[in-house]
């Protein structure tokens, strides 16, 4: 019997709110979990469910500055308006609300638990949908992110001398994770994202390749707006898979943001759910211990569909193309007329595709000339 897959989940993931007008809707976690249940994925053979614990102050301080954590905790104790823009707290992007600190610690604890299930619990792979807060810096909230769960969770593994590949497929560049390991060869970071030239967080250019001992260990593939599945697949096959194989890590951790989908309201990429399934199967096929975390995604039904397909691919469970009938009434509260679990095939217009292909070819030439030889590729 193969090693089990672990789903890390808690109902409290959806217990808070950034505000009615904010694009980040935490209901997506509940919606994803319910769709998984309707698809028969919560009790599929070879899977387990695990509840996370709260990340401790000691664990958080392995990356985050104490003064930042003090402020985040204090701001979380009341509902009144509070702000400290030096720490990125209290603005429209990163609101503060009662219970925020403990909620963020639970999300961070979910990634810690997923990592533990894979490294100590005998699991083949683990998924914590509430992780992936890749914009949180050591002393600054950013991009709806307050605690950087991946960086925090990896600290004990790195202290033990392990090597890690971090792959970020979110529509936005994984800037704070890259920053944390920019001078280290112990973590190879790879991010495929929409070009930051005019898009948040305005970073992740192909020339950002690391510094010092980390030179050549930060990899970025910025995609032009309107890049579709064909462009994404090329980037994945020509960059992600060869570098994972060449680096030979002890652990693979991936951020699976669902905002690369064509109907996401905050991005301009044109991928479909087929890319989520393709990437998941490719990660599983590496044979590496694998931890997947959530990330972005600002259409709630998109997120639920994409992460349900991700979990199905992780577990090897078959799922139909249509939404389960019992789930359709709930889905239509968010997307009128919703019926499909998988997206229909979609291609960008010829002009958009040509521009996207030219941009990708330019990135590939740079990486093949400057970076691949460092990895003996």
Catalytic residues: 135
What is d(CA 95, CA 146) in angstroms, rounded to the nearest whole number?
A: 10
Helix H or strand E segment including 187: strand 187-194
204: closest CA among 226, 187, 182?
A: 182
Beta bridge mates, 47: 5
What is d(CA 149, CA 109) in angstroms, rounded to the nearest whole number?
A: 8
Radius of gyration for the alpha carbons in the chain, expressed in angstroms and rounded: 19
DSSP reduced 3-state for 6: strand
Q: What CA–CA distances, in Å, run from 239 to 139, 245, 247, 310, 355?
A: 32, 10, 12, 21, 19
86: closest CA among 105, 67, 102, 99?
A: 67
What is d(CA 74, CA 81) in angstroms, rounded to the nearest whole number?
A: 12
b (16+ CB within 10 A) / e for 151-180:
bbbbbebbeeebebbbbbbbbbbbbbbbbb
- Angle at alpha carbon of residue 107, lines to 101 and 113, rounded to 5°: 130
Q: Where are the alpha helices (DSSP H) in 316-349?
A: 328-331
């Amino acid at each position: 019997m193969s090693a089990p897959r672990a789903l890390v989940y808690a109902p409290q993931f959806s217990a808070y709110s950034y505000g009615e007008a904010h694009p980040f809707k935490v209901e997506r976690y509940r919606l994803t979990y319910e769709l998984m249940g309707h698809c028969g994925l919560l009790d599929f053979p070879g899977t387990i469910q695990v509840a996370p614990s709260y990340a401790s102050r000691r664990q958080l301080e392995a990356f985050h500055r104490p003064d930042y954590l003090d402020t985040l905790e204090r701001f979380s104790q009341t509902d009144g308006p509070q702000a400290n823009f030096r720490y990125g707290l209290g603005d429209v992007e990163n609101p503060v609300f009662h219970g925020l600190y403990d909620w963020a610690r639970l999300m961070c604890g979910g990634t810690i638990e997923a990592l533990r299930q894979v490294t100590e619990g005998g699991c083949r792979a683990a998924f914590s949908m509430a992780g992936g807060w890749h914009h949180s810096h050591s002393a600054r909230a950013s991009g709806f992110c307050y605690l950087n769960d991946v960086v925090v969770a990896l600290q004990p593994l790195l202290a033990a001398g392990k090597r890690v590949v971090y792959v970020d497929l979110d529509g936005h560049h994984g800037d704070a994770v890259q920053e944390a390991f920019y001078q280290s060869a112990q973590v190879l970071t790879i991010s495929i994202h929409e070009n930051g030239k005019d898009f948040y967080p305005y970073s992740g250019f192909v020339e950002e390749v690391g510094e010092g001992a980390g030179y050549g260990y930060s990899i970025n593939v910025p995609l032009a707006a309107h890049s579709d599945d064909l462009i994404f697949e090329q980037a994945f096959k020509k960059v992600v898979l060869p570098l994972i194989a060449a680096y030979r890590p002890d652990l693979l951790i991936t951020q699976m943001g669902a905002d690369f989908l064509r109907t996401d309201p905050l991005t301009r990429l044109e991928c479909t759910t087929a890319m989520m399934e393709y990437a998941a199967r490719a990660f599983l096929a590496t044979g590496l211990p694998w931890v997947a975390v959530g990330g972005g995604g600002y259409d709630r039904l998109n997120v639920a569909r994409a992460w349900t397909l991700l979990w199905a691919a992780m577990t090897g469970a078959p799922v139909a193309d249509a939404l389960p009938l019992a789930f359709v009434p709930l889905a239509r509260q968010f997307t009128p007329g919703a019926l499909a679990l998988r997206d229909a095939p979609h291609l960008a217009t010829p002009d958009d595709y040509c521009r996207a292909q030219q941009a990708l070819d330019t990135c590939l030439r740079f990486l093949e000339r400057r970076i691949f030889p460092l990895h003996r590729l």
